[in-house]
Amino acid sequence: MLKNIHITEKSSNLNSFNCYTFIIDNFINKIQLKSYLENKFSVKVTKVNILNIKPKKIRRGRITGKTNLKKKAYVFTKEPIESLLGEGQ
């Protein structure tokens, strides 16, 4: 379901608005993600936005290829998820 948490400067700033970013499996939709997060972290999810990250072209000598397709999800909650926040926040 969830592959990992996507931590960048932008996503760290969004944490103050109770927004968290995740890299998710390619076959998951918004409804499945919302119910999974509500059950796992016991929080109320208000909104879910999902982005498809297109594969990038790569080249290794003469051989060309593409990276894998990824999905990124922005999840907005009513209250902060304490288990995802670090000690300093």
Nearest-angstrom CA–CA distance, 22 and 57 = 23
Give the pLDDT confidence score for residue 89 in this predicted structure. 47
9-25 pLDDT per residue, tens = 998 899 889 999 999 99
Q: Is 18 exposed, middle or buried (0-12, 13-18, 19+ CB in 10 A)?
A: middle
38-56 pLDDT per residue, tens = 999 899 999 999 999 999 9
**Domain residue limits, the chain:** 2-77
pTM given for the model: 0.82
Residue 85 pLDDT grade (very low, low, confident, very high; cuts 50, 70, 90):
low
Residues contacting residue 67 through CB under 8 Å, at least 6 positions apart: 55, 56, 58
What CATH class does 2-77 carry? alpha beta
Residue 87 pLDDT grade (very low, low, confident, very high; cuts 50, 70, 90):
very low
